[in-house]
Amino acid sequence: MSVLIKGGRIITASDDYVGDVYIENGAVSMIGAALDVTAEKTIDATGKIVMPGAIDPHTHIEMFFGGTTTCDDFTSGTVAAAFGGTTSLIDFCMQAPGTSFAQALENYHEKIERCPPVIDVGFHIGVTDLREGGTLEDLAKLPDEGVTSYKLFMAYKGAVMVDDETLFKTMQVARDTGGLIMVHAENGDAIDLIVKETVAAGKTDPIWHALSRPMETEAEATNRAIQLAHVADAPLYVVHVSCLPAVEPIALAREKGWKVWGETCTQYLFIDESALEKPDWEGAKYIYTPPPRPKEHQQHLWNALVGDVLSAVSTDHCPFNWPDQKGVNGREFQVVPNGGPGIENRLHMLWTFGVREGRITPNRFVELVSTNVAKLFGLYPRKGTIAPGSDADIVVWDPDKKLTISAATHHTNINYNLFEGTEVTGAPEVVLVRGQVIVENDELVGKPGDGQFVKRARFGEELLPAAKAVT
Ligand code: DUC
Ligand code: ZN
Ligand code: ZN
């Protein structure tokens, strides 16, 4: 199938120009000012922006957590992602404690076979246990399977939290295999004690979720991971940075030229801890971790994104329906499954309040939601840019399209939206994955199975464009 995208403003991380993009066999074949070609499908992109599809490096699809399972599967989650302009995601393939990494991979491949995605999907391995089940040798084999990032939780004591020995050993494996270490950085031991004291004092409303996870516990773990990764000589990516105290050690490490990167998530830029005080237990909708922080930290996060201290914005999409799933273990903050939705609205929010309000340039926008993610996670230059030979993962973006974000109209299975009622300007008009139209004019055109599993390159290596591309 050939596609011609005509006359759009093509924006990548580095370029901004008007031109045509010609797609053949799923890849970008030619780019030019006015291409003299005919195609099976022509998309008039006059007045529109043509940008690389966004990549979400942080989702929890169909994940068992906190006594229940997130309510999107790989079909529903990726449909929602596509409607928001995301054309690839990388999900956490979690090692169930006591089982092998091979078993974890098999489980997750079964999930994408049972509920096939409409966009491309990769996996990080979630390392929870190196004592029973998981071995260092098996961990070292994963990059051969295209799984080139190792995620560890420094929180959730008694569940998925790892100790420093496991963290450090995994870092050493990453150094040797070309893997990227990802950490959920919070001091789980301290938080566990604070939570117990808080509950013992009878403080169990949702707001205590935030008040029992002080920012310093995030900062301490962030710094610990940075120092240990430096000793191990492994590259480190800190997920969901939520506040200034956690930004600071990342800034310092990057100033020193250490191999450290950080992401924040859409919700930390827009939702503050007062959301947890919503009446009638609605505050439980905002029980995700790290928690929403005091409002002034939103500006600190924007500053970090602008100043290249933070390198990406993900969603940490981890959807549990409210009140059924959020209340499955009872109505006390410490038993509420942690997680919030967001897979569909990342670009809407960042374009409207980032680009349109002048906080970030359109190039930086593309970098934060696509190019940097592709580079860090072994997808570039096949993904994350628009260039001859690259996968034609492309969003034709209408910068003037208005919509009101709502659970009534979004496409994920979850029954609430963190950004409910927010009016945004800027939304996808056409979304293509490897040259195939997945979403057009608010209609799903693609079908389950149009997305593929992607084997990613090792950290620092390029994922070469598919050979079929004509350059
Ligand atoms: N935080 C969440 O809110 N949910 C899943 C895992 C995490 O770290
Ligand atoms: Zn986390
Ligand atoms: Zn997460």
> Contact 215/246 with Cβ under 8 angstroms?
yes
Please state the atom number of ligand 1 nearest to the C-alpha of residue 340: 3
The answer, yes or no, to whether any atom of ligand 1 lies below 6 A from the CB of 338, is yes
70 CA distance to ligand 2 middle (Å) = 14
User: Could you state, in chain order, the average pLDDT of each consecutive group of 10 residues for the chain (471 residues)?
Assistant: 97 98 98 97 98 99 98 98 99 95 98 98 97 95 98 98 98 98 99 98 98 98 99 99 99 99 99 98 98 99 99 99 98 98 98 98 99 99 98 98 98 98 98 98 98 98 72 38
- Separation of alpha carbons 183 and 185, rounded Å: 5
> Beta partners for 22?
4, 30
pLDDT per residue as tens digits for the range 81-106: 999 999 999 999 999 989 999 999 99
Any idea how long the chain is? 471
Cβ atoms 391, 27 nearer than 8 A: yes
Token reading at 317: 């999409």
Nearest protein Cα to ligand 1, atom 2: 339
307 secondary structure, DSSP code: T
* Residue 464 burial by Cβ neighbours in a 10 Å radius (0-12, 13-18, 19+): exposed
- CB 221 within 8 Å of CB 189: no
Please give the model's pTM, rounded to 2 decimal places.
0.98
Cα diameter, the chain: 73
CA of 439 to the centre of ligand 3 (A): 26
Is the dihedral angle over the CA atoms 301, 305, 309, 312 positive or is it negative? positive
Pairing of strands 49-52, 394-404: antiparallel
- Of the candidates 134, 45, 50, which has an alpha carbon nearest to the alpha carbon of residue 393? 50
Pairing of strands 312-314, 260-265: parallel
**Coil, strand or helix at 217:** helix
Check if 59 has its Cβ closer than 6 Å to any atom of ligand 1.
no
53-376 belongs to which CATH class? alpha beta
Q: Map out the domains of the chain as residue ranges.
A: 53-376
For 14-65, how does the pLDDT look when each residue is reduced to its tens digit (9 = 90+)?
Answer: 999 999 999 999 999 999 999 999 999 999 999 999 999 999 999 999 999 9
In Å, how far are 143, 215, 447, 457 from 147, measured between CA atoms? 5, 31, 25, 8
| 220-267 per-position pLDDT tens digit | 999 999 999 999 999 999 999 999 999 999 999 999 999 999 999 999
